[in-house]
Amino acid sequence: MNSTRIAFLKGHGTENDFVIIPDYEGGLELSPAAVARLCDRRAGIGADGVLRVVRSAAHPEARAMAGEAEWFMDYRNSDGSIAEMCGNGVRVFVRYLERAGLAGAGDLAVATRAGIRRVHLGKPGPDGAPGEITVGMGRALLPAGEVTVSVGERNWPARNVNMGNPHAVCFVDDLAEAGKLLDAPAVSPASAYPEGVNVEFVADRGPRHVAMRVHERGSGETRSCGTGACAVMVATARRDGHDPARDGHPVTYTVDVPGGRLVISENPDGTVEMTAPAVIVAEGLLDASLLG
């Protein structure tokens, strides 16, 4: 791109925050170092990750999905690494499309590295408040095998859940047990997660109501993780004896995160849906030199 200024926006979903880069025709190269600079909270804009908005037909990883989804969410973690999916990111991505006049209330599809995600964008409320966004998160996979998570000298058994990206879900009596999560928890066996893992710690709050903390692969502890909340809901439902495919009816849990609240449902066909807010908080121009 020849311009010395590049448009950006900043948004968050339950305080999981993102820099949004509109790049419809895919002409902008984002190196891992450039993404890390953008996400730096002191020397850059500051975020848990970057959402690049690209037409599916213009991106080699998404062209096969262009017939179903016009837009591809090119998501990067704050360290510059590429991720398959981000549940909070999808909602913020769709909120951007709405703001830019590229989508309206109703149903739409978004292409991601984990496949097509179906989204319902709610109508604005009577007071003009943005409508909530429901994302079809696909089916949870529950790989077999025992997994252990360690923080310092503490160890917990974990449930292996894959929501298009990998998760290890641990149940604790108190979320403070997880200690400081800015350093990555150790997970064993390493062979269970060859490309790294997101780790969730979960404590009960009431009937079908839990709270969680999360260490995201490539980002550290964040205020929220959408795929993590879905993994937590599925792991908790199984712990509690609920299996919608067996029982024939959906089950819904409320999942509190440090940045807010998400409502997660699992349906008898195995699909998981996430409903929560998403907000655009700023837009502006960044100097292209920040991208190197």
267 annotated binding-site participant: no
227 annotated binding-site participant: yes
Quick one: pLDDT at residue 4? Answer: 83
Which pLDDT band holds residue 1 (cuts at 50, 70, 90)?
A: very low
42 annotated binding-site participant: no
Mean pLDDT of 254-281: 97
Q: Which residues are 262's β-sheet partners?
A: 255
Q: Are 199 and 185 in contact (CB under 8 A)?
A: yes
Express each pLDDT in 260-272 by its tens digit.
Answer: 999 999 999 999 9
Helix (H, G, I), strand (E, B) or coil at 119: strand
The boundaries of every CATH 3.10.310.10 domain in the chain are: 5-132+278-291, 147-273
What CATH number was assigned to the domain covering residues 147-273?
A: 3.10.310.10
160 annotated binding-site participant: no
Pick the CATH number of 5-132+278-291 from 1.10.10.60, 3.10.310.10, 3.30.200.20, 3.40.50.720: 3.10.310.10
Would you call 86 a catalytic residue per the annotation?
Answer: yes
Q: Residue 58: what are its φ and ψ, rounded to 5°?
A: -95, 0
CB atoms within 10 A of CB 256: 18
pLDDT exceeds 80 at position 101: yes
Catalytic residue among 39, 170, 225, 230: 225
Catalytic residue among 39, 86, 170, 230: 86
Q: Residue 57: what are its φ and ψ, rounded to 5°?
A: -65, -20
